[in-house]
Structure 1
Amino acid sequence: MTDRPTDCPTDRHADGHPDRYTVISADCHAGADLLDYRPYLEKRHHEAFDAWAATYVNPYEDLLADTADRNWNSERRLSELEADGIVAEVVFPNTVPPFFPSASLMAPAPTREEYAHRWAGLRAHNRWLADFCAAAPGRRAGVAQILLNDVDEAVEEIRRTKEAGLTGGILLPGAPPGSGVPELYSETYDPIWAACAELGVPVNHHGGSASPPLGDEPAARAVFMVETTWFSHRALWHLIFGGAFRRHPGLRLVLTEQGSGWIPGVMDMLDYYHERLVAAASRAVTAESRFGAGLAASMGKGPSEVWRDNCFVGASFMRPHEVPLRDRIGLDKIMWGSDYPHDEGTTPYSREGLRIAYAGVPRDEVAAMVGGNAARVYGFDLALLDPLAAVHGPEVAEIATPLEKVPEGATSPAFAPGGSVRVW
């Protein structure tokens, strides 16, 4: 799919200690405790917030447990990440923002009546996140949240959060069937893509954020697990076929916590349909030619070229069966993540998670996937992080040693036995 890059980041260390990796988690989550969002809301929303918070029942056990403060306790978080070998993180949302029924990553699209309050809640989260990132300068790239219902408001928030110091880009909401907003391939969103390209703001699309509501029956929950990553993948082909990257060549898309083994097969599929439809459009009018009409002109480059030039994957806890695909995915595209503080994350066994994935992989390649690529995409300063890694980072020799036994208590799918390549 892509040739090995000649300028792929290496494991350079500013302090002259080349025996440890600088690990940046490209997938972590945080948020304020519910009532701590109040000071970040405009005062005109305080009364409504008080009424909402008084009756809200949090549906998430992990946000009610004694470990919930890992989401907002800056010192605890730094300590636990350092103990896990991680010196910096990309911070996605986790806790419930004001006026939302659930975490915003999974919340349904707002009705018109809910819209103003939901926007106020997301702005409050973004303000809180800017302060949270400022508490650990250079070590957190916060991902700002937007809604798609009003594109002009979204662009305004993108510019404001960039100025406020959030360097993780934006979280692109899903547009599942029935959401009431245009599909992601729509040119309606061009002002958003233009602002992100202009400002160098990555567009992040996180797994689990694009599935339609399915209900609570056991079958529905199983179907959700089967389909959720597919619905998240849709953003990739929507933006490619929609021509967003032709109109905005500086746009960067990051697909996070959706795995990575599916990418080669999906890109082969997209190339196939692109070539087939473009070819059909150049022939006499047939049923199929109409499907490809105008596609070549609107898209510009083919899918694999777009992937090569504009796309990245927050592969999270990369699994052993995915690693041999790294050249087909693109070594310069892959960013490892611990998914802290989620139960399915690798904490506190991230070193073991790195070993089970990367033992036997050349050192410069590991360095790129566990930190160098994320530094480049999100603007982390390795000169600041390398001295921290010299103290806290995992040793190169340690990660090179195959993991013989999964730690007791490890809950991450990174340690699941077996596994095959996902092709969709």
Structure 2
Amino acid sequence: MELPRIISVDDHVIEPAHLFETWLPKKYQDRGPKPLTAGIGELAYVAGKYQITMDPDGPPTDWWIYEDLKFPYKRNIAAVGFDRDEMTLEGITRAEMRRGCWDPKARLEDMDLNHVEASLCFPTFPRFCGQTFAEAHDKEVALACVRAYNDWMVEEWCGDSGGRLIPLCIIPLWDIDLAVAEIHRNAARGVKAVTFSEIPTHLGLPSIHSGYWDPFFAACQDTGTVVNMHIGSSSQMPAASPDAPPAVQASLSFNNAMASMMDFLFSGVLVKFPTLKLAYSEGQMGWIPYALERADDVWEEHRAWGGVRDLIPEPPSSYYYRQIFCCFFRDKHGVASLDVVGRDNATFETDYPHVDSTFPNTKEVALDHVKGLDDETIYKLMRGNAIRMLDLDFDKGLTFPWSAKSAAAAAAAK
């Protein structure tokens, strides 16, 4: 079988040290994020949270220093190129990383090695949906940082890739009007994807049930911008006992995606915005059949007291099949349940450069998952559904709105 070249809907980028020096307006640079190489202390993992300290005698690590935040890069988020037993929580410098983590030209080379044609990358230092800037004290600088990150993402990271690196932007989560403006600003230059929190209330933000986010959802629907929600984009991963090892959290990570999807299915958001597209990233899909069965059962059997009798006119699963995409990379149970998961709803990811990444063996992993499936379904899983989800020009022979851009556009951001 010749596997179609993959379009990965969930990868990650390690931000280059020059990002804010290049893209943040000069008047904000003294208050903006600054790169630093310094020693790191021993990491502790307590109740689902990492406790990190600087230590001048510790291993050299690349950090971002921003207001009172000290953010280090760790091996498990830049894991490609290391042996499995070396993918630890130790600090790491960019010089020690595989260059494709932070260099777009090297990333394209690694994609070629890995049978990947195109890639959508989530942030690292801003965190999965821009929480870093939402938590900042000085919101004027934070807004400038959001815009600077998006300018770098569109113009530099994706700009010279010929459309192969697909821009994924962030929004100022703390102000709905600014968020809407940022959606329109980026859509005007061809951006089709934004990252959002799976569970905003965990960030101290209004819930999707409140109506607060409706202008944001309307802007995304109007511009064809896909709302991408990565596990952990609520800054809170599922855990059991407070002293459980990180492996428990890793095994339960899909729970956030499942909780978020139930939230949306019973919120009325997908009723109100019938062409809005949601995408769940790194949540896998083997859990989806029962989640949909349970949601439909609750809708049917518990409608008198469940609070959704007049809010959700059709079975919740109908909105899933119409508007929600999932993705997978190691999930044979999900593939075996594809008729219920939805052959038009599932996409593929490589998770480069995280510890879960299938690089450089993604083709072999994918082939092992899709063996026995028909060619049309394989095409949909590997690229077709991603093309439709993100309204990409692949397979049409067209150009990408951002593909002619370059870092020279940084001058316009000043």
**What is the deviation of 1:227?**
4.4
**More helix by proportion, 1 or 2?**
1
Match of 1:374 in 2: 386
Are the equivalent residues in 2 in contact too, given 1:176–1:231 (CA < 8 A)?
Answer: no
Q: 1:252 aligns with which of 255, 263, 277?
A: 277
* Other structure's SS at 2:279 match: strand
1:356 to partner: Cα distance = 1.7
- 1:79 pairs, out of 102, 109, 112, with 109
**Aligned-partner SS, 1:113:** coil
Pair 1:124 & 2:124 matched: no
Q: Which residue of 1 is the match for residue 258 of structure 2?
A: 233
Task: Give the structure 2 partner of residue 44 of structure 1.
Answer: 27
**Mapped pair 1:349 → 2:361:** yes
Q: 1:78 Cα shift?
A: 0.9
2:314 alignment partner, SS class: coil
Deviation, 1:349, is 0.4
Distance in 2 of aligned mates of 1:260 and 1:374 = 15
Which residue of structure 1 aligns with residue 338 of structure 2? 326
Question: What one-letter code is carried by the residue in structure 2 that aligns with 1:60?
Answer: K
One-letter amino acid of the structure 2 residue matched with residue 58 of structure 1: P
Q: Which position in structure 2 is the counterpart of 1:137?
A: 162
AA in 1 matched with 2:227: V
* Rounded Cα–Cα distance in structure 2 between residues aligned with 1:270 and 1:334: 19
Specify whether residues 384 and 155 from structure 1 end up closer, same or farther in structure 2 by C-alpha distance, changes over 3 A only. Answer: same
| Counterpart residue type for residue 74 of structure 2 | Y
Q: 1:111 to 1:72 in 2, by over 3 A?
A: closer
Q: State yes or no: 1:203 paired with 2:227.
A: yes
8 Å CA contact 1:22, 1:370 repeated in 2: yes
Q: Secondary structure at the match of 1:296?
A: coil
> What is the deviation of 1:51?
6.3
- In the aligned structure 2, how far is the partner of 1:189 from the partner of 1:106? 16
Q: Deviations over 1:282-310 (max 9, x none)?
A: xxxxxxx3x43xx2322232211101111
For residues 321 and 235 of structure 1, the distance between their equivalents in structure 2, rounded to whole angstroms, comes to: 21
Match of 2:185 in 1: 160
Which digits, 9 at most, give the CA deviation of each residue in 1:369-416, with x for residues without a partner? 001111111122233689xxxxxxxxxxxxxxxxxxxxxxxxxxxxxx
Residues 7 and 382 in structure 2, CA contact (< 8 A), matched pair in contact too? yes
CA gap of 1:325–1:150, structure 2 versus 1, over 3 A, is same
CA distance in 2, matches of 1:194, 1:379: 18
- Which one of 299, 305, 313 corresponds to residue 274 of structure 1? 299
Contact conserved, 1:332 with 1:373, CA < 8 A, in 2? yes
State the Cα RMSD in Å. 2.8
For residue 8 of structure 2, give the secondary structure of its aligned residue in structure 1: strand
Bigger drift between 27-36 and 303-312 goes to 27-36
Shift in Å at residue 43 of structure 1? 2.4
Change (3 A) 1:373 1:147: same
Q: Which residue of 2 aligns with 1:100?
A: none
Q: Report the TM-score, using the length of structure 2 for normalisation.
A: 0.76
Q: Secondary structure at the match of 2:215?
A: helix
Residue aligning to 1:394 = none
Tell me if 1:297 matches 2:310.
yes
Amino acid across the alignment from 2:93: L
Say whether the 8 Å CA contact 1:24–1:88 is kept in structure 2.
Answer: yes
Cα distance in 1, alignment partners of residues 242 and 20 from structure 2: 33
> Scaled by the length of structure 1, what TM-score is found?
0.75
Quickly say closer, same or farther: Cα 1:30–1:50, change in 2 above 3 A. closer
Give the secondary-structure state (helix, strand or coil) at the position aligned to 2:337. helix
Q: Which residue of 1 aligns with 2:321?
A: 308
Q: Are the counterparts in 2 of residues 253 and 312 from structure 1 also a CA contact under 8 Å?
A: yes
Report how far residue 201 of structure 1 moved: 0.8
Larger relative contact order (CA 8 Å, sep ≥ 6): 1
Task: Look up the SS of the partner of 1:365 in the other structure.
Answer: helix
Per-residue deviation, residues 2-45 of structure 1 (Å, max 9, x unmatched): xxxxxxxxxxxxxxxx9551321121112431332222112221
Whether 1:360 aligns to 2:385 is: no
In 2, Cα distance between the equivalents of 1:88 and 1:225? 26
Q: Give 1 or 2: higher strand fraction.
A: 2
1:339 corresponds to which residue? 351
Check 1:271–1:113 CA distance in 2 against 1; reply closer, same or farther (3 A cut): same
Shift of 1:87: 1.0
Maintained 8 Å contact 1:146/1:173: no
Partners in 2 of 1:189 and 1:90 — Cα distance? 24
Counterpart in the other structure of 1:70: 100
Decide whether aligned partners of structure 1 residues 368 and 226 sit closer, same or farther in structure 2, where only a CA change above 3 A counts.
closer
Distance change >3 Å, CA 222–CA 19, structure 1 → 2: closer
Q: Please, which of 189, 200, 204 is the counterpart of residue 180 of structure 1?
A: 204
Q: Secondary structure at the match of 2:31?
A: helix
Structure 1 contact 24–87 (Cα < 8 Å) conserved: yes
